[in-house]
């Protein structure tokens, strides 16, 4: 427990963190990674380069400071980050390194304003927060290892099949090299892949949503090749059937809730991958649940898994499937294989979803996510009925 004096001091720094948080975390990562380059084997280099990691940490530090007198309020955030840490292989010994460099960054950026009193208070607070992360992550490591088919850290998987799903998305079917059982997962969760392309000094780790229903003897991830994506390009161009990938056990807090509410699954681009997993899971486990599957894509050339979704929907009277193409090709128009030209907007969403009394799941690019979130909020959908996988600082969705 923190003393009232420490809580008071931390609270007083909230306005400073709001103003200088990004500057502090940018300096922090620069200093820490120069002293401990081995951590580049864990951190996402692209997120570092584009500033996403710095913003995410700044938001987390700000939230911790703002809720320092009620840290229970940020436990959901701790769990979400903890899932990623477990999947990446973050360990207790990493936390002192982070703490030392974070306090140094606060001192460097704020200068004389960062008094000994403030630094000492933050050192005490960081210790409490780090212990919370370490404790929660220890349970996650234990659960991942001890569950049926589970394992610790990374395990070798063979690429049994590699299937091109669209011009930009390819699926990889993964089976364990040791031939033993694999852990199940919840629809919506992700798999974490670690690779080291030829010539790279460090390993690269990425999270990819699982795109098939659980309870199979393989995992499937469907990966979009990003133009500057080191890992996605490596998977698309260099990895072939029979190759081996290092994979950590399924993780993630974005999961399908199996209740009686209708489910509305909304995706943009490669964001459809967890939605396809959810769709198959509902059809299998809740065959009478009403489902509306809504996908937005540029056109049919980049619309992955379309036939799979259409076939699944055709076999159930409780499933409806819709697609919006923002720039359909002439072949799309000829085949009439989409339902709306343009983007998924509020009016169209309401007309096909039918009711706001549903569970809404959505995933896609950041602008898409913001737009869907705003539309659902304006429609009056309760926050507890909005579920999303947001690959960026969570506060940005507002």
CA 114 to chain centre: 34
Name, in order, each residue with C-beta under 8 angstroms of 396's C-beta and a sequence gap of 6 or more. Answer: 55, 366, 370, 390
Nearest alpha carbon to residue 275 among 337, 370, 218, 210: 210
Is 393 assigned to a binding site?
Answer: yes
- Residue-wise burial string across 256-288, b where 16 or more C-beta atoms lie within 10 A, e elsewhere: beeeeebbbbbbbbbbbbbbbbbbbbbbeebee
d(CA 146, CA 342): 47
3-state helix, strand, coil in the chain (%, to 5): 50, 20, 30
- Residue 157 pairs in a beta bridge with 176, 245
- Full DSSP string of 249-272: EEE-S-----SSS-EEEEEEGGGH
**Closest-CA residue to 271 (of 248, 320, 304):** 304
Contact 123, 11 (CB under 8 A): no
Contact (Cβ atoms closer than 8 angstroms) between residue 196 and residue 150: no
- Residue 342: Cβ within 10 Å count: 12
* 248 φ, ψ (degrees, to nearest 5): -100, 160
373 is catalytic: no
Q: Which of 360, 376, 131, 388 is nearest to 252 (CA)?
A: 388
Does 188 appear as a known binding residue?
no
Q: Which of 29, 62, 95, 141 is catalytic?
A: 95
State how far Cα 54 lies from the chain centre.
16
> How far apart are alpha carbons 359 and 384 in whole angstroms?
8
Q: Report whether 15 belongs to an annotated binding site.
A: no
Is 390 marked as a binding-site residue? yes
In the numeric block, which tokens belong to residue 187?
A: 């629809």
CA distances for 181 relative to 20, 184, 194, 222, angstroms:
48, 9, 20, 22
222, 165 contact by CB (below 8 A): yes
Q: Is 137 a catalytic residue?
A: yes
Ligand-binding site membership of 269 (annotated):
yes
* 387 marked ligand binding residue: no
Asked whether 63 and 10 are in contact (CB, 8 A), the reply is no
Bridge partners of residue 362, in order along the sequence = 266, 388
Ligand-binding annotation for 219, yes or no, is: no
Residue with tokens 């909304």: 266
Is 355 annotated to bind ligand?
A: no
Catalytic-labelled residue, pool 62, 137, 290, 325: 137
Residue 392 assigned ligand-binding role: yes
For the annotated catalytic residues, the residue numbers are 95, 137
Binding site residue list for heme b: 85
Binding site residue list for FAD: 190, 390-393
Binding site residue list for NADP(+): 269-274
Binding site residue list: 85, 190, 269-274, 390-393
């Amino acid at each position: 427990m923190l003393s009232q004096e420490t809580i008071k001091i931390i609270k007083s720094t909230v306005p400073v963190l709001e103003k200088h948080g990004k500057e502090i975390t940018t300096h922090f990562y620069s200093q820490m990674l120069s002293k401990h380059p081995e951590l580049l084997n864990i951190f996402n280099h692209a997120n570092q380069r584009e500033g996403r990691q710095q913003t995410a940490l700044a938001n987390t530090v700000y939230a911790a400071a703002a809720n320092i007198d009620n840290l229970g309020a940020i436990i959901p955030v701790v769990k979400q980050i903890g899932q990623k840490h477990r999947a990446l292989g973050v360990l207790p010994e990493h936390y002192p390194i982070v703490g030392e460099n974070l306090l140094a960054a606060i001192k460097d950026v704020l200068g004389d304003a960062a008094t000994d009193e403030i630094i000492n208070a933050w050192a005490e607070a960081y210790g409490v927060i780090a212990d919370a992360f370490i404790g929660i992550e220890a349970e996650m490591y234990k659960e991942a290892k001890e569950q049926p088919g589970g394992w610790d850290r990374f395990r070798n998987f063979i690429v049994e099949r590699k299937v091109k799903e669209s011009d930009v998305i390819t699926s990889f079917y993964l089976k364990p090299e040791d031939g033993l059982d694999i852990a199940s997962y919840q629809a919506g969760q992700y798999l974490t892949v670690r690779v080291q392309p030829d010539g790279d000094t460090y390993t690269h780790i990425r999270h990819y949503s699982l795109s098939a229903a659980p309870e199979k003897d393989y995992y499937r991830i469907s990966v979009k090749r990003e133009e500057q994506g080191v890992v996605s390009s490596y998977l698309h161009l260099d990895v072939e059937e029979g190759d081996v990938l290092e994979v950590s056990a399924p993780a993630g807090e974005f999961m399908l809730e199996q209740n009686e509410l209708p489910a509305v699954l909304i995706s943009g681009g490669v964001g459809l991958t967890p939605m396809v997993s959810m769709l198959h899971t509902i059809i299998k486990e809740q065959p009478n649940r009403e489902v509306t599957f809504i996908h937005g894509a540029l056109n049919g050339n980049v619309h992955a898994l379309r036939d799979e979704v259409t076939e699944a929907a055709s076999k159930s009277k409780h499933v409806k499937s819709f697609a919006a193409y923002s720039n359909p090709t002439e072949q799309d128009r000829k085949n009439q294989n989409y339902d709306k030209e343009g983007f998924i907007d509020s009016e169209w969403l309401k007309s096909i979803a039918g009711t706001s009394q549903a569970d809404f799941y959505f995933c896609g690019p950041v602008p898409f996510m913001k737009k869907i979130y705003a539309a659902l909020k304006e429609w009056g959908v309760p926050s507890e009925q909005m579920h999303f996988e947001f690959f960026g600082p969570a506060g940005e969705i507002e």
